[in-house]
Amino acid sequence: MNNKGAIIYSGKQLFLIAICCSFLGALSSKAQSPSTQRADWFKEARFGMFVHWGLYSILGGSYNGHTLPDTSLKNGNSWYAEWIQQRLEVPKEEYRKLVKQFNPVEFDADAWILEARNAGMRYFVITAKHHDGFALWDSKVSTYDLGSTPYKKDLLGDLAKACRKYGLKFGFYYSHCEDWDHPGGAVPSWLPQKKEADFEKYWKEKCLPQVSELIQRYHPDLFWFDTWGDEQEKLFISDKRRDELIALIRKQAPNCLINGRISWLSPGNDIDFLEMMDNSYPNELQQRPWQTPATMVESWGWHAKDYNWKPASEMMGYLVSNTSKGGNYLLNIGPKADGTIPPMAIRRLREMGGWMVANGEAIYGAVPVHKEMPKGVVATEKKTASGNNIYIALISPQANPALVLPFNAEDIETCSMLETALPISFTPAGEGKLKLLLPEKIASLSDGVQVVKLKLKMTGN
């Protein structure tokens, strides 16, 4: 480290460090706990696609003259269309009739996964079973499943195959606590609560067997479980049950990742990554790998009247900002019941994909820079064979085009825009700081999130 706090190594030092690292690496790969290795792909990937798709997609957020959110109904004040059964009070027998209507004839697994891949996403997670209890595959455990619909193909199998074909990791959301169909599954707080013995029955005869079934049939790379610290979690997801579910997965699929919302209140030490609350972005660095599940609109499931589409540039900001804190961004789409992805989502996916083609270097495999950045600016870092690079992402417009950063000007070899290679002039700003002089067009973000690349010098003497 030089006297201004920046790390600069000479060629000789680098050589020695490389030898030490490969020695330590060989030692630590043995000593490393399986969990750290398991999550390596996840930490590298940074960007994934989430899909909420099921019977609720047929209703698209409206039922019987009501549309979510609807404050005339006691519990109707939510945009979440996948909650329609409970929030718009659809009688169970009525909701169950949707099974006979679920026939996504336009569904094309390759087309979906290609959209994800072209958006720059490296993994894919779909709701195998959401809170309504409906299984999106032909389950041996329950007849409330895809096998009872007019659609006879294996949706999840086709998606798993497409993911493997296009190099994406594949995962399942599985609602392990809430299950509104099984008599013992947890239900929302405003309904009569289930008894422990009933939940145990659900756990043993539906939840655990279905998770096993998903593993045996589809070999997922990741499980996304869902709790959020409510009464039902307190009542039913004890550490014992959490560990039982984890043990089942570890035994049958040792490389499969498990998210922290298996128990929001008590995730324990054997999960692979922390899952933030919906659309929430932590300000601090986290101790473990983590991600934010996020929506493009308000709802997760398809909602025809949710017009609140976020601009792609805002979502790119979340992705790069999470990356700068060591986290991932799992961005949701809610396909329509016919199997198509709404064009509004496709437009955003493609815009983000374009951005990733030009700027992905600042995202994939990039890690946090442990320095405080100016407001509206985040930074990531990547060590490559040809040297170290720092990526400065402007995520909100900078009123002042002279941007002062906490890096030493002497350590910088070149400074340029990542996308165009436009050279950016820089000067020392005193106290180990650096001043970039940004063209007005770049500082104002007239073309979305901008990334400046600082290539650091390799040698000190």
- Which residues form the interface with ligand GLC (CB under 6 A)? 52, 80, 82-83, 226, 228, 278, 293, 300
| Residue number, 48 or 448, with CB nearest to ligand GLC | 48
DSSP state string for 296-354? SSS-SS--TT---PPPHHHHHHHHHHHHTTTEEEEEEE---TTSPPPHHHHHHHHHHHH
Chain residue whose CB lies nearest ligand GLC: 293
| Minimum distance of ligand GLC from residue 441's CB (angstroms) | 37
Q: How far is the CB of 67 from ligand GLC (least distance, A)?
A: 17
Mutual orientation of helices 155-166 and 208-218 as an angle, nearest 10°?
A: 50
Q: Nearest Cα to 335, choosing from 34, 99, 80, 50?
A: 50
Minimum Å gap between C-beta 180 and ligand GLC is 12
280 phi/psi in degrees, rounded to 5: -120, 145
Q: How far is the CB of 228 from ligand GLC (least distance, A)?
A: 5
> Residue 191 gets which letter from DSSP?
S
Q: Could you give the CA distance from residue 449 to residue 391 in angstroms, rounded to a whole number?
A: 12
Of 86 and 388, which has the nearer Cβ to ligand GLC? 86
CB of 82 to ligand GLC, least distance (A): 5
- How many CB atoms within 10 Å of residue 278? 14
Residues in the chain: 461
Q: Which is nearer to ligand GLC, 14 or 187 (CB)?
A: 187
Q: Which is nearer to ligand GLC, 237 or 434 (CB)?
A: 237
Least distance CB 39 / ligand GLC (angstroms): 19
85: tokens are 């059964």
List all residues 6 or more positions away from 325 whose beta carbon is below 8 Å from its beta carbon.
282, 284, 285, 286, 368, 378
Shortest distance in whole angstroms from residue 266 CB to ligand GLC: 17
Alpha carbon distance 203, 197 (integer Å): 10
**Closer to ligand GLC by Cβ: residue 294 or 320:** 294
> Which residue lies nearer to ligand GLC by CB, 132 or 221?
132
**Secondary structure (3-state) at 171:** strand
Whichever of 23 and 228 has its CB closer to ligand GLC, that residue is 228
